Each structure stands twice: as C-alpha cells, then as structure tokens.
Structure 1
C-alpha cells in the first residue's frame, strides 16, 4: 500500500526541525516554553556531565528563547511540574506522567542489587527522612560497602537510590551532582501518586511508549533504534505488533521519503503540521528564505536519538566520543553538532571555564560540503555570545 505522503529529504528535515522549534524564529519562550516543550516530546534525557551545560540544559538552550538553567531547576524542585525518573534511561518528564511508569517502579521493588542489606535498613532510612524532610548519602551513616551498579558503594547511598528507583523517594534538590532525597508522598500530589497506570496490559504500555518516542523524535521508523531504549519488555516481535495496531487504529501516519527504502511514522496529531510544512514548499524556495539561525545541539538531544535517521536525512554522522579512548577519538571529548538553518554543518567543542567566567571554544570542525560565509560567521558569533550568557560567562575565547 502506497503512503499518502511522499516527502523529499529537505521536506522531511523541515518538518522535523519545525516540530522541535529548531528552525526560523523560536517557537518556545521562557519557563512556560520549557514546560511546553517537555510536554510535547514526553521526556528529555538526563546526564550529569557538565562541560558547557548538562545534557537537558543543552537540549533546552537550543530551543527556548531566554532560557537559563534556573528555569529547569525551578520546574523540577520548586514548581514540581517536572520530575526526574527513568524513561529513556534517566530522564526528566512532566509530573502527570508518573502513573505510566508504575511497572518500572514495581520491577525495582522486586529486584535490586544488595537487596538483603538494603531491605534491612530501609525503614530506618525512611524514618530519618521523615524526621528531616530530605537527606543525601552523606547524611546516612551506613558506610558498609555493598555491591552496586558501577562499583561497590556505601550502604547508605545504595539504600537511598533503591528507594528512589522504587518510587518511595524523589529528588528534593541537588547541590552539584549530589542528590538530596525526600519522601515521594510529601512532594507528589496524592491524586497523581494513587492513580493506576492507564495502560492495563504490557502491549498497551508498549504502544503508548512507541507513540511517546515518535513524538519525542518527530518521526521514526519501525526498526531497531536507540530511540526505543528504556521501553520494557519490547523486542522486535512486540514492536512490530504494536506498530500494526497503531497503524490500524490511525494513531500514526505513514510517510515515505524519496530515496529511502523504509517508511517513517509520525503522530496522527502532527498531520496538520506536516501539511503546513508541505504547503510552504509549494510557495517558496524554503532553504533560501530560512532565518540564519545557528544552534548547538546536545549530545543526547531528542533529535539525535536515532543516529541512522540523522545520517539518512541530514547526511551527518555523529558519535558522542566521551567514552571513546583519547587516541581513538575523531573529534573531541564533549562535542556538540552545529545546526545552521536546516543543515548540520559541523561540530564544536566548548568548555565553560568557570574560574575565568570564559567560554572557551577549543575547536570547530566543519563538514567538507560546508564553507562558512560572512552571514554564517555573523550568526555563529551571536550564538556563541548567547551560549556564553547561558553558561554565565562574560567573554568568549577562541582557542584554535
């Protein structure tokens, strides 16, 4: 059966970037825009490494006009409109989505590392937090070493993290990378906390999660992808069955992209956006009329979750080389893709030198097909100034 929509690669790129608010004028603005964007994509992935901003902050600075890091912290730990928990690995998502992850919390209630040792001290730790409102691992004086994820850790830390995984605790606030935990019942509304998972079966949960991930990226195909990470109990057969149901019930729309064999799928509610984007291509030469916007994308940006998709649509290969041995790195330790108009034109490595309040640009690598012109250089400079402000730097220093 032939797809109703057949797109060119530029049209597919334009749709994706419009969906993300990464092209032309900013679609999202201020703290309200942060919440609106995260509700649109479902979740953004968390990573604690901070070279020039943490991953979720980097995702947001590329899309939210006037974004600052305090906005995300306020939404998480003051307004409680967002929560950090597991979705695509450790993520940040709207608090109202908490019920959908009940099965993940149940899994951790039934199994975790060093279970015997943790269970013996659980009630004491919960009582301590009840009496003190919040606690970090330094407050829990259980120094005995137990088996843990990356390496042995203190029983106090293992217990706090287990209770967090199980949903008994939430993050109250952070100081740097140190997490302070509080009782979940004290910080999540009882109506949300007591709401059962709306998905009554494992297959319904998988279908819901596939829709969520399609919305997070913008469009996806029905094949193995890092975009599916964190969807429990989903193997190839379950994914294919879920897609069959979603197609039959018209919850997704199939489209073809010229030159690519596999079809893509978008959310049914994005059909109007797709048609609007296609209409734009009828009336003008889109690529020539785009605003000269330069953005720096996060290493774990939603748009980049499927690297093969990015290669197919943008002809851009990206690998986060943070865990690649130095001698094997092609580029650098913490390198961000550069988006210019509708094209990924290169990579940039920047460091926030907090001592000197300087954004240090270590190196820029451009794609062979891209030659920076005066217009690009002008807007690159403006984006570097904005990125420096985001990192509370007072100047930009080009090292190479």
Structure 2
C-alpha cells in the first residue's frame, strides 16, 4: 500500500514568499536586465496587463521594472514587433507569450462572457459588412492605425467615444481577426492575424484544442503563475467562469498535476504547481526569504485581485483613477509599496519628465506597519530607484502618513541622491 505523504503546512509569511517567488518579486535582480529577461518575466506571469495611463510609466513597463530593475522601455515594443509576444483579451487587455497563441485562440468560447468579447460580437453583428470592408482594406493596403481614418463627426458613443473605424478595428482584434503587429508611440498598428501569428505559429488557424484541454491548461498556468493560490482565486487570472471549488481540483491533485497544501490561518486549502515543488520545500523550512523592495503598478498581478491581496498581505487595494476625485482616499494612480515580503504602504506619484522630478504627492503606511530604520531605507531605495529609471532623479516627497515618517524618509532620499 502506498503511504500518503502529509501535505506541507505553511505560515502566511512562507505562503507569501512562495507567491512572490513565482511572480519574480522575491529578491532584487542580481544583474542588469537583458531583453530576453522581459520575455521570461512575461512567460512567468503568463499575462502582462496593458493600461495607457502614464502619470508614471505605463503599467506594463512598470510591472516589468518591479521584477527586472532598470531596462529600456523600447524592448517591450521590440518583442511585440518581433512576434515574441502578442496582445490578447484575457484577464483584461494583455501581452502574452506567442508560444501560448494557440491556447488563447482556442479559449475564445470560454471568454464569451468577457465585456470586451461581448461588445466585439455586438459590433460584428451590427456592422459586419463594414468590418469586412475594413479587413479587405488591410488585406490590400497593409497594416493600419486608428489615426489613419479621419473622424467624420465629433463626439459619438460606443467604446470610450471612439470613431467607427476604431470600434471596428477593436472588434476584429478582440475576435481574433486582427492582431497588433506593432505599436507606434504606444498606439496599436493592426494587421491581419494570418500575417502576424501566421508568420510564426504553424497551423495557427487549424490547430484545435478541445474545451477540456483549454480549461485544464489555463487552470494549471494560473496556479503556476500565482505560486500558491486558493481554488477561488484561480478563475480570475484568465477571467474564466465559474469560480472553482476544492472539489473541482480533486482530480488534478490525485493525478499529481497540483499539490494541495495548508496555510495557517486559512480556512481553505491552497494549491501549488509541481514546477514549484523545490521552492515549496524551501518555503516550508523557512529558507525562501523575501528581500526585495520595490514599487508596484496598480495593475500588477500581485494586486489585481483585491480579495487575494487582502488574504495574502492584509492589504485592501482599490484602484481609484476611475473614482471621482472627492471620493478618493489615496490618490489617482497609487502604487503599492512592496518591502521584504509585505505590502507596507502605497504612494501617489507623478513623474514630471520635463523637469526631471518624481513627485510623491502622498505616501501612506499601513496602520500596522512600524517605520523602523531598515524599512525607511527600503522605501527610500525603492522610490529612488524608480525615480532614476523614469529619468526623474529628483524626488519631491510631500505628505506622509504617519506625518512623523516624512523627515527621516526625506533624509534617506537625500543621502541616496547625493551618493
């Protein structure tokens, strides 16, 4: 008879370390980043969410910076133009490794509930003939940008008040008829899928994965990206439905495709991908230690699930850029502060690129965080490093909570800037 192996029991700190290790946020990078490291980081996360707000660096650049340190932002666009990555609607609009193209293409049916797919299907239904003419235009004349088409009238409805051609381009992109061939000044350049994926993915339009295979693969990829997760958090990573229960994962545990572990203080089991078995063993013996301090994007995978961030870090994070200003608690584009395995606070920042100033309008520590000398040094270094990468090396620290933090943090920042 086969002897059952007792499941590891982790402390919450050990669980967090495993999560951050999988996400590439456990330790400070040991060397200067190379372009290949960007692709590795995206593959590790599976998905890199896209957002256009650029009060500081746009989110996808910042997510990569948090893991890799300083690197040329142009590398991300180069990977896209080189067909190493592609854009797709998954969690939201995301970059994903081109090696996963067939999985995403065959996942369309399980994403039918996504708002972007529903909108695209509605536009395809109401404007199909016009979209076909647009596709023929691209087929004959080559890739296009939205700006290639003049707006016929001001205003308009639909997606963010876009002109018709932009809505048609986005609909065809969401449904997989068009892809983003490259970006110019972060604006999408659209081309036929057969010319983008078709140039690098064999059988791009004929290879079929059944629904069960797609569901299994996205589930396992989600767990691997998260490092450690409860069942109820898995579906959100690729925006699939329904939420999973522990019973849904029993067959994968029995097959050895997932490892089930316990975390002290949690009333539900957690799951680890076998690829992280070695890291799990280190975590369980306290040898997987978080030492990195950095600023995170509001769209970082670590915080994009509010419930998960609360369970892992005791950190209640709400994105407030879409909240009316009088109702904001913290600010417009607030960056979580990661320090040695904890989310210790958040700051409202703006990069004034022309003046070379990185403005910290307000910095808030979590109520249970003690601002000792080591933490102040970690936060100062995280801010200074990020400011230098933005080419805004002068840090203007304004308000802090608690207010007593402002003087020592300013002193620590001055010491770094004068070094």
Q: TM-score range by the shorter chain?
A: 0.7 to 0.9
Q: CA deviation at 1:151?
A: 5.1
From 49, 53, 56, the equivalent of 1:52 is 56
For residue 155 of structure 1, report the CA deviation from its aligned partner: 2.2
Q: Which of 177, 181, 191 is the matching residue for 1:182?
A: 191
Count of residue correspondences? 389
Provide, for residues 250-273 of structure 1, a one-character-per-residue CA deviation record: whole Å limited to 9, x for no partner: 111111011211001111111111
Pairwise CA distance, 1:90: 1.0
Distance in structure 1 (CA, Å) of the matches to 2:306 and 2:120: 32
**Residue 369 of structure 1: how far off its partner (Å):** 2.3
Contact 1:170 1:184 in 2 (8 A): yes
Change in CA separation of 1:177 and 1:247 when aligned onto 2, cut-off 3 Å: same
Tell me if 1:170 matches 2:179.
Answer: yes
Please give the alpha-carbon distance, in whole angstroms, between the structure 2 residues aligned to 1:382 and 1:210.
Answer: 37
State whether structure 2 residue 214 is matched by structure 1 residue 205.
yes
RMSD in angstroms over aligned alpha carbons?
A: 3.0
Secondary structure in structure 2 of the residue aligned to 1:363 = strand
Partner of 2:257: 251
Distance 1:200 1:70, change over 3 A: closer
Matches within 5 A, 1:26-175: 26=29, 29-77=33-81, 79-105=82-108, 112-116=121-125, 118-141=127-150, 143=152, 149-150=158-159, 153-175=162-184
Name the SS for the 1:344 alignment partner.
strand
Unaligned stretches of 5+ in structure 1? none
Using the TM superposition, name which of 132-141 and 340-349 deviates more.
132-141
Aligned partners of 1:129 and 1:182 also within 8 Å = yes
Question: In the alignment, which residue of structure 1 is the partner of 2:242?
Answer: 235
Rounded Cα–Cα distance in structure 2 between residues aligned with 1:170 and 1:145: 27
Q: Which deviates more, 90-99 or 370-379?
A: 370-379
The residue aligned with 1:18 is: 21
Q: Which residue of 5, 9, 12 corresponds with 1:6?
A: 9
State whether residues 145 and 155 of structure 1, in contact with CA within 8 Å, keep that contact through their aligned partners in structure 2: no
Cα distance change, pair 152–71 in 1 and its aligned pair in 2 (3 A): closer
CA distance in 2, matches of 1:75, 1:90: 17
Provide closer, same or farther for how the CA distance between residues 199 and 124 of structure 1 changes in structure 2, counting only shifts above 3 A.
closer
SS at match of 1:188: helix
Is the contact between residue 47 and residue 95 of structure 2 (CA under 8 Å) also seen in structure 1? yes
Q: In terms of mean alpha carbon deviation, does 131-140 or 110-119 score higher?
A: 110-119
Counterpart for residue 282 of structure 2: 276
Shift of 1:383: 2.4
Once the two structures are TM-superposed, the CA of residue 197 in structure 1 deviates from its matched residue by 8.2
Question: TM-score, length-normalised on structure 1?
Answer: 0.86
What is the rounded CA distance, in whole Å, between the counterparts of 2:353 and 2:256 in structure 1? 51
SS at match of 2:379: helix
- 1:282-303 CA-to-partner distances (Å, cap 9, x unmatched) read xxxx77xx64x42111112112
Aligned equivalent of 2:414: none
Q: Distance in 2 between matches of 1:275 and 1:100?
A: 31
Q: How far apart, CA to CA, are the structure 1 residues paired with 2:168 and 2:394?
A: 43
Structure 2 unaligned segments of length 5 or more: list them: 400-419
Question: What is the CA–CA distance in structure 2 between the aligned matches of 1:382 and 1:251, rounded to whole Å?
Answer: 40
- Structure-2 separation of matches of 1:2 and 1:143: 68
Show CA shifts across 1:78-108 (max 9, x none). x221111111111111011111122455766
**Greater than 6 Å deviation, 4+ residue runs:** 144-148, 196-199
Q: Normalising by structure 2, what TM-score?
A: 0.83
Q: Which residue of 2 aligns with 1:223?
A: 232
2: CA distance between counterparts of 1:372 and 1:275?
A: 32
Q: Tell me the distance in 1 between the aligned counterparts of 2:35 and 2:87.
A: 17
Match of 2:416 in 1: none
Q: CA deviation at 1:46?
A: 1.5
